[in-house]
Copies of this chain bind each other. A is one copy, B any other.
């Protein structure tokens, strides 16, 4: 069995995401979509509308992962600087794209609105970039190499994600199995560590929950091979049964 590993990062751009004024909706949406495509989301960054910050994050992420998806900063106002920053990161000139100008001019003519200088900013992108169609408000996103630049408005972002999805390389689906566990991490930590060591081709996550009184955990096994997933999940179920039996030991019930 061969498996294809495809990785991704999300770079969300915008002061409003850092000031707490806007709760981001794009990261969660794209994380879910990537999971279904077998693409491993490995890192998320949120940066301000500052060119240096965007360039640095973009150059770090695009060299490290198969894909980088950005959101925000491609509108018509002075604080929309993503096109300039992406151009700078790739050493390309940022210019008014002829096809984008045509699409936008047509749309505004149809709507009897002026195609202002500000609106023309939305046609700017790195020279040679490919478009991402925007069925909501026309102004396209764009693709340079492995970087997909999309709008921040959630309806537009999601429409753009739908449009790029068919061209993305799919990864082998990561199989996951979730096992609720009534014991806290302190009770299971040593045993669980041993299970992880014995099943190296799986990844076992332990997520503590606290109900205000006591801790329990949710244990999640991930693997690309179903037999290996089963083996690790079975070992965890055995561990939980063993702890149940030990707890019941001094007070056996009718079936014990």
A contacts, CB < 8 Å to B: 15-23, 28, 31-32, 35, 41-49, 53, 75-80, 108, 113, 116-119, 121-122, 136-137, 152-153, 155-156, 176, 185-190, 192-193, 196-197, 203-210, 212, 215, 220, 222
Contact = CB atoms under 8 A, between A and B. Distances in A.
Contact of A20 (B28, B122, B156): B28
Given A43-B48, A45-B45, A79 B190 contact: no
Contacts of A46: 43-45
Contacts of A153: 208-210
B21 A220 contact: yes
Given A46-B43, A79-B205, A210-B137, A189 B220 contact: no
Contacts of A18: 31, 41-44
A13 to B, nearest CB: 11
B78 A15 contact: no
B210 A155 contact: yes
A19 B47 CA distance: 21
Contacts of A17: 44
A210 B156 contact: yes
A197 B77 CA distance: 12
A27 to B, nearest CB: 8
Contacts of A48: 42-43
B186 A119 contact: yes
27 contacts: A18-B43, A19-B35, A20-B31, A20-B41, A22-B207, A42-B47, A42-B48, A43-B46, A43-B48, A49-B205, A75-B189, A75-B208, A76-B189, A77-B185, A78-B192, A78-B204, A79-B196, A80-B185, A113-B186, A116-B186, A116-B190, A117-B190, A118-B186, A118-B187, A119-B186, A153-B208, A156-B210
A57 to B, nearest CB: 8
Given A48-B43, A212-B155, A77 B20 contact: no
A118 B185 contact: yes
Contacts of A47: 42-43
Contacts of A209: 153
A207 B78 contact: no
A235 B118 CA distance: 18
A190 B32 CA distance: 37
Given A44-B46, A220-B21, A75 B185 contact: yes
